Amino acid sequence: MSPLAGYLILSAFLFAIGLAGALTRRNAILVLIGIELMLNAANLNFIAFWRFSEHPEALTGIMFVIFSIGVAAAEAAVGLALIIAITGITRLRMWMK
């Protein structure tokens, strides 16, 4: 087995765990954690294919990963802000009754 295959198997395993977590959980925070695992699996693929490509000095894989990490941070911030806002609205409605 080549080293690239090992990285791809690990990435597929991480993606499967993240997908199962995102589809089976009802808690919004655990769904966000599953999505983060899937994004990390994609990042691992980017780095593995960049490292074992013909021209690893091109840094394209690292640029994709940096962009993906920025998207993941924004997704987590927006997701948690929505969860906090919905929780606050729900508690306010319960207090008003």
CATH number, domain at 43? 1.10.287.3510
Instruction: Supply the pLDDT for residue 88.
Output: 80
HSE of 66 in the Cβ direction (CA atoms, 13 Å)?
Answer: 5
**Higher local confidence (pLDDT), 82 or 90:** 82
Q: Which two tokens stand for residue 53?
A: 């490509």
Place of tokens 């091109």: 58
Number of folded domains in the chain?
1
Question: What is the H or E stretch that residue 65 is in?
Answer: helix 60-96
User: With the C-alpha atoms ordered 83, 75, 70, 24, is the resulting torsion angle positive or negative?
Assistant: positive
What percentage of the chain carries pLDDT values higher than 70? 97
Contact 37, 17 (CB under 8 A): yes
Backbone angles phi, psi at 31, to 5 degrees: -65, -40
pTM: 0.81
Query: 4: pLDDT confidence band, cut at 50, 70 and 90?
Result: very high
What percentage of the chain carries pLDDT values higher than 90? 47
* Enclosing domain of residue 65: 3-96
Instruction: Supply the pLDDT for residue 23.
Output: 96
Q: Is the pLDDT of residue 92 over 90?
A: no
Query: 54: pLDDT confidence band, cut at 50, 70 and 90?
Result: confident
